[in-house]
Amino acid sequence: MRAVMHQTWRDLLFAHWEVPAGALGRLLPAGLAPDLFGGRAYLGVRLAGLPPLPGPGAFPELNVRTYVRRGGESGVWFFSLDAASRLAVEVARRWFGLPYFHARMACVAQGEALDYASRRVDRRGTPAVLRVRYEPCGPPAVAAPGSLDDFLTNRLVLFAPGRGGRLLRAAVEHAPWPLQPASAGFVENSMAEGLGLPLGGEPRLLFARRLDVRVGAPRPAA
């Protein structure tokens, strides 16, 4: 794969909620169907914190995502992505067609815990706020193949909306996730309210300290 984007993600939290598969499917574009695990569909919010050394490429980011299938291929579909960098938002929207939005964001370490806050200020998206404290609470390990944690994190294809209703596809490369169990206290979370999908019950939580990622150029999905 010829990579056009290199990213380093740090201090990540995956939070996933089970959602009705039928309601989720109605939010997806033609050609994509919900990818199910044991007959269940999931909606996730994934947070990425700041690298330890600040710079122009260091900013918090979060996304609202689900998992989809197109024919025999599985991948990830982003309903929204929020970032604290205006430049990154505009480049990603133009180049990848992804629904990025500018947000005021902060990620502050408190020992092992992280206080994370985001408020969308981009008028192209619906209002969305997230405030949470999270931290790892166990040793890192690679998820077993075929497990739920593997299903929720090991996604090597992303789909994005292209012009004229066409779907785009991009390959993603990275090492296996070094996942840790996590705890989180959500003070406020309206990231999925615009979708009409209730995020009830306790989410499944996973933490990862760091992962380096390579992303290929978006191409029309076959």
**What are the tens digits of pLDDT across the range 141-150?**
999 999 999 9
- Model confidence over 110-135: pLDDT tens digits? 999 999 999 999 999 999 999 999 99
pLDDT digits (tens, 9 = 90+) for 49-100: 754 434 445 688 999 999 999 988 999 999 999 999 898 899 888 877 889 9
E strands present in 36-95: 41-48, 61-70, 73-83
Looking at the 3D structure of the chain, how many domains does it have? 1
What mean pLDDT comes out for the span 161-170? 85
- Taking the C-alpha atoms of residue 41 and residue 214, their distance in angstroms, rounded to an integer, is 27
DSSP letters of 125-137?
S---EEEEEEEE-
The mean per-residue pLDDT over the stretch 100-109 comes to 94
Name the token pair of 63.
């996304």
Model confidence band, residue 2 (pLDDT cutoffs 50, 70, 90):
low
CATH number of the domain where residue 209 is located: 2.40.400.10
Percentage of the chain modeled with pLDDT above 70? 94
For the chain, the average pLDDT equals 90
Residue 193 dihedral angles phi and psi, to the nearest 5° = -60, -35
Domain assignment of residue 191, given as a range: 3-220
